[in-house]
């Protein structure tokens, strides 16, 4: 397990988790993930973040091949979540650092999670910097991207930004750099990560991107704590531009229709609705939630300006899998969408109304009343479904206007 030298005396010493499938307990990571830790060798040797505790051995192996453990002088903790700080206690115990550098909230969170008695914790804030010899480290608070303790570290002499969770992806690969990876797969992984983790903080993303731009930082390498490293200036520009577009959430002329179906009737409704939208010039993706995960819905929503949700009525309400999707989506707070609710029923029919209320609570524009059909939809009902698709498609196109993204 060799460390990877990014630039002279700057190393990746992280770990690759090829088997991770459930990231943070709520989002899929179908391609695994990485826990990125970094080392800079200088007059003062610095480790940035650690790894999940299950992969501490890999990190220590790589670190030891670059530097004797007792020669680590400083540890920078950009974030205290367990996939970043899982091996922190071991690192402190084995290295006995002079300083452990973190944000104001990072100190508080460390003290709440670990036994920090005797730890030499030093707090920094935006604008603070330290010299480590030939290099310096400049710190920028990035509160709520995606935890209150979050910060990033910038090393101007290397034009390197160690970006914490920002700009990450869940990719497990033997490649370390974004330019080595299939670009379509990379973009999908970026969207998947953003829409399932970073999305609710989009206004802060835009504010932070503007603030960093105002600092005129010369950045040619971006090293996130998950996934691949951007080592070329054009790759750095690509990920920053991609994040801005994702955060802006401008409507796109595409739709996702997610549904659950007990005996197939709501599924037939979904297909008819899709027919109306496609005929109106709006591409659609159908997601049967019984065969997919709620994070797949959010990933699809990254490219969609419309979301339509269907469920049969069950115990005067919606099926549990759709309740799960709506709860998850509401927490992630998507903006600038249109939508609709639909579903079949046997004798009461409350589900579409409940879904409509959920969507309205997310400030999703609803151009039509919820549609419900009793038992198996017949021709007349399927015509209604198609008409609903047309109505939502027209509303989406009107919302997009002349937007090039549409």
Local confidence pLDDT in tens for the 406 residues of the chain: 899 999 999 999 999 999 977 777 777 778 889 999 999 999 999 999 999 999 999 999 999 999 999 999 999 999 999 989 999 999 999 999 999 999 999 999 999 999 999 999 999 999 999 999 999 999 999 999 989 999 999 999 999 999 999 999 999 999 999 999 999 999 999 999 999 999 999 999 999 999 989 999 999 999 999 999 999 999 999 999 999 999 999 999 999 999 999 999 999 999 999 999 999 999 999 999 999 999 999 999 999 999 999 999 999 999 999 999 999 999 999 999 999 999 999 999 999 999 999 999 999 999 999 999 999 999 999 999 999 999 999 999 999 985 545 5
**In this structure, what token pair is assigned to residue 302?**
């990254």
pLDDT at residue 404, rounded to an integer: 43
Whether 226 is catalytic: yes
CATH code for the domain in which residue 384 is found: 3.40.50.360
Count of structural domains within the chain:
2
Which of these is catalytic: 31, 79, 138, 293?
79
- 160 & 64 share domain: yes
Whether 84 is catalytic: no
- 158 & 264 share domain: no
Q: Is residue 371 part of a domain?
A: yes
Choosing from 248, 276, 311, the residue where a domain stops is: 248
**In this structure, what token pair is assigned to residue 106?**
């990072």
Q: Is residue 19 part of a domain?
A: yes
Q: What is the DSSP string of 337-383?
A: -EEEEEEEESS---HHHHHHHHHHHTT-B--S--EEEESS--HHHHH
Q: Is residue 139 part of a domain?
A: yes
pLDDT at residue 406, rounded to an integer: 58
Q: Are 31 and 171 in contact (CB under 8 A)?
A: yes
pLDDT at residue 305, rounded to an integer: 98
Choosing from 213, 248, 283, the residue where a domain stops is: 248
**Core vs surface per residue 75-109: b (16+ CB within 10 A) or e:** bbbbbbbebbbbbbbebbebbebebbbbbebbbeb
Give this prediction's pTM.
0.95
- 43 & 176 share domain: yes
CA geometry: angle 365, 371, 373, nearest 5 deg = 165
Whether 379 is catalytic: no
Q: Distances from the Cα of 284 to the Cαs of 23, 257, 304, 307, 356, in angstroms?
A: 27, 7, 8, 10, 20
Which of these is catalytic: 31, 84, 138, 226?
226
Whether 83 is catalytic: yes
- 235 & 288 share domain: no
Q: Is residue 109 part of a domain?
A: yes
- 190 & 239 share domain: yes
> SS3 of 257, please?
strand
Whether 293 is catalytic: no
Whether 193 is catalytic: yes
- 309 & 229 share domain: no
Q: Are 36 and 83 in contact (CB under 8 A)?
A: no
- 237 & 265 share domain: no
- 308 & 225 share domain: no
pLDDT at residue 184, rounded to an integer: 97
Choosing from 248, 270, 287, the residue where a domain stops is: 248
Which of these is catalytic: 35, 55, 193, 195?
193
- 37 & 81 share domain: yes
Which of these is catalytic: 52, 83, 225, 260?
83
- 215 & 332 share domain: no
Which of these is catalytic: 9, 24, 111, 157?
24
Give bridge partners of residue 138 from the DSSP assignment: 129, 154
Helix (H) or strand (E) holding 63: helix 56-66
- 288 & 218 share domain: no
Sequence-distant (≥ 6) Cβ neighbours of residue 265 within 8 angstroms: 312, 344, 373, 375, 376, 377
Which of these is catalytic: 17, 42, 52, 81?
81
Q: Is residue 402 part of a domain?
A: no
Structural domain boundaries, residue 222: 4-248
CATH code for the domain in which residue 226 is found: 3.60.15.10
Which of these is catalytic: 146, 293, 294, 354?
146
- 165 & 131 share domain: yes
Taking the CB of residue 341, how many other CB atoms lie within 10 A of it? Answer: 28
Whether 294 is catalytic: no
Q: Classify residue 34 by burial, with Cβ atoms within 10 Å: 0-12, 13-18, 19+.
A: buried
Q: Is residue 405 part of a domain?
A: no
Q: Is residue 403 part of a domain?
A: no
Which of these is catalytic: 165, 260, 296, 365?
165
């Amino acid at each position: 397990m060799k460390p990877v030298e990014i630039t002279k005396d700057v190393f990746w010493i992280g770990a690759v988790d090829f088997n991770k499938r459930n990231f943070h307990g709520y989002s899929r990571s179908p391609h695994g993930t990485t826990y990125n830790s970094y080392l800079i060798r200088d007059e003062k040797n610095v480790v940035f973040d650690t790894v999940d505790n299950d992969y501490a051995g890999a990190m220590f192996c790589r670190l030891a091949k670059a530097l004797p453990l007792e020669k680590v002088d400083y540890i920078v903790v950009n974030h205290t979540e367990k996939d970043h700080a899982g091996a922190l206690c071991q690192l402190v115990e084995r290295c006995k650092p002079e300083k452990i550098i973190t944000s104001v909230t990072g100190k508080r969170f460390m003290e709440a999670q670990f036994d920090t008695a005797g730890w030499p914790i030093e707090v920094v804030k935006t604008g603070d910097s330290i010299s480590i010899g030939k290099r310096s480290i400049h710190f920028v608070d990035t509160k709520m991207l995606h935890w209150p303790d979050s910060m990033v570290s910038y090393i101007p002499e290397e034009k390197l930004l160690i970006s914490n969770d920002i700009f990450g992806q869940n990719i497990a690969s033997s490649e370390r750099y974004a330019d080595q990876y299939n670009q379509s797969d990379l973009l999908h992984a970026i969207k998947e990560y953003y829409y399932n983790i970073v999305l609710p903080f989009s206004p802060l993303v835009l504010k932070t991107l503007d603030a960093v731009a105002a600092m005129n930082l010369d950045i040619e390498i971006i090293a996130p704590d998950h996934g691949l490293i951007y080592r070329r200036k054009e790759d750095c520009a690509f990920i920053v531009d991609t994040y801005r577009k994702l955060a802006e959430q401008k409507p796109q002329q595409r739709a996702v229709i997610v549904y659950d179906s007990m005996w197939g009737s709501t599924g037939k409704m979904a297909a008819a609705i899709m027919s109306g939208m496609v005929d109106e010039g709006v591409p659609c993706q159908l997601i049967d939630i019984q065969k997919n995960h709620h994070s797949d819905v959010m990933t699809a929503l990254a490219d969609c300006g419309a979301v339509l949700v269907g469920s049969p009525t069950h115990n005067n309400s919606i099926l549990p899998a759709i309740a799960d999707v709506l709860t998850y989506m509401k927490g992630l707070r998507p903006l600038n969408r249109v939508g609709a609710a639909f579903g079949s029923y046997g004798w009461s029919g409350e589900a579409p109304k409940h879904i409509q209320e959920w969507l309205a609570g997310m400030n999703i524009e609803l151009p039509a009343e919820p549609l419900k059909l009793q038992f198996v939809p017949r021709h007349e009902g399927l015509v209604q479904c198609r008409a609903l698709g047309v109505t939502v498609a027209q509303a989406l196109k009107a919302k997009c206007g002349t937007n090039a993204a549409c």
